[in-house]
Amino acid sequence: MTTVPQRNGPPRVSDTLFTSSTRDIPEHRAVPRHVAIIMDGNGRWAKQRHLPRFAGHKRGVEAVRAVVRACAERGVKFLTPFAFSSENWRRPAEEVALLMQLFRSALSSEVDKLHRNGIRLRVVGDLEPFDPRMRALIAQAEDLTADNSGLTLTIAANYGGRWDILQALARLLRDMPADALRGIDEAQIAERLSMSYAPEPDLFIRTGGEQRVSNFLLWQLAYTELYFTDTLWPDFDSAALDAAIASYARRERRFGRTSEQLEEAQSTSPAANGVVA
């Protein structure tokens, strides 16, 4: 594994590149190591109750809090919710402003709680359009929780999968001499992605009934198990998370192999190739 630098400081032992699902065969555990979530349905939840859309977003923050707790209790090591996509700027200006206000409020009120519970917070995405106060809150939160060894909570904010790949390629072009670019490989791109410190997601969850990935973690979802539910995000709780994890645990993760090869690998080395508790 290769050490990669943090955004706000020197490399840390935990900031390493994990197994690529297209180059190697990752370990399959009954509980996913990394869960990524598109939290869809806040507006519809509010509309069903004749409330303003913002009420749904506020309730959605409570759902995030509950799912963070549930993931930590179940042994999930990385949780990545998609809070605000690069395409969400297309929403009405008033709603965007309220979402920014809610994000600032959550950063101010929740970070100390996360820190007390040993949770590390990271925020990934193009942060430049955010106001200086928001960027300062993000930097302070990341610095405060940087050495925590429990769950790593990554908030994707003004994030897009295509943006992530493009910024990684731009960094690669800056870092490497032109004559070396002909020999670039997957690892050199992966180590420059915004989430190079985390393993690829094992389980992707999308609430709200839509069945698409919506420009989220396009590189990292190559072999991720996808789980879609009609449950609206404000109603997604620990029982709904357990249902998603149970579905994941039943999946046969072949990573390009046949079922027969998988069975043989499990019989010879279950800890390395099969499902691990």
Give the active site residues. 40, 88
Q: How far apart are the first and last CA of the chain?
A: 23
Say if residues 274 and 266 touch (Cβ distance below 8 Å).
yes
Say if residues 103 and 83 touch (Cβ distance below 8 Å).
yes
Assign 194 to helix, strand or coil. coil
Distance CA 36, CA 38 (A): 7
| Distance (Å) of CA 37 to CA 46, 217, 222, 238 | 20, 10, 15, 14
* Tally of CB atoms within 10 A around 90: 8
Using left for φ > 0, alpha for ψ between -120 and 50, and beta otherwise, residue 125 falls in left
Interacting residues of 189 by C-beta distance below 8 A, sequence separation 6+? 165, 168, 169, 172, 219
